[in-house]
Amino acid sequence: MENPINLIAGLGVVPVIAIERASDAVPLADALLEGGLPVAEITFRTQAAADVLAAIRDARPELCIGAGTILDKGSLKRAIDCGARFALAPGYDPEIVEAAKAASLPFCPGIMTPTDLTLASARGVRLAKFFPAGVAGGPKALSGIAAPFAHLGMRFIPTGGVTEATIGEWLAVKQVIAVGGTWIAKTEDIREGRFAEISRNAAAAVKTAKEALEKRA
């Protein structure tokens, strides 16, 4: 089975999804797969998150599922038990970093400042979520924050305020392996059953990210 981080880096984009009903899990998975996007971050912002992970794991194992908004070790354990192959958080908590490491789960804690990055890198973190990316200053800010840590091989997944129109700007930063996007599968689109729209959004994001990665190469 492919390493999830390698898969994400190859795609250049991860859909960040808050889904309210487990019954929508498989239709969502099918929409993403149809759009050529075989990965999803299911955020633990809803009560359904763990059940959604389990439903996709069981019915659509070809979709690489991860858990987002992991704020405590209990959520991390539930995510792992329900099939998450990677996880992310909006901030840095050393206890969660260590728990993920003990479980051999690729984990991407959130950072926004050089101080955050100093603390995370000291714990062995080499892949961080830059969040909230837009509010934090965009690609130029990340380039400046990342520069003193370049020798450590730090890599980033900017999330929060990223749009399809800005994918290219983010992926032009060589330390960025992928962007996280909430626009691909919005909560309201899932709620209203607009899965064809989600497929179109996924396909467009994959195309844009591919072009940006090819340009960078």
* pLDDT one-digit tens code per residue, 170-210: 999 999 999 999 999 999 999 999 999 999 999 999 999 99
- Quick one: pLDDT at residue 2? 81
Mean pLDDT of 107-132: 98
The yes-or-no answer on residue 41 being catalytic is yes
Q: What residue spans define the domains of the chain?
A: 4-210
pLDDT at residue 128 above 90?
A: yes
Using a cut of 0.95, tell me whether the model's pTM lies above it: yes
Q: Of the residues 41, 62, 169, 197, which is catalytic?
A: 41
What fold, for 4-210? TIM Barrel (3.20.20)
Q: What is the DSSP string of 75-133?
A: HHHHHHHTT-S-EE-SS--HHHHHHHHHTT--EE-EE-SHHHHHHHHHTT--EEEETTT
pLDDT tens for each residue of 73-96: 999 999 999 999 999 999 999 999
Per-residue tokens: 35: 């759009």
- Quick one: pLDDT at residue 1? 67
The yes-or-no answer on residue 164 being catalytic is no
Q: Of the residues 101, 129, 174, 211, which is catalytic?
A: 129
Tell me the longest C-alpha to C-alpha distance in the chain: 47
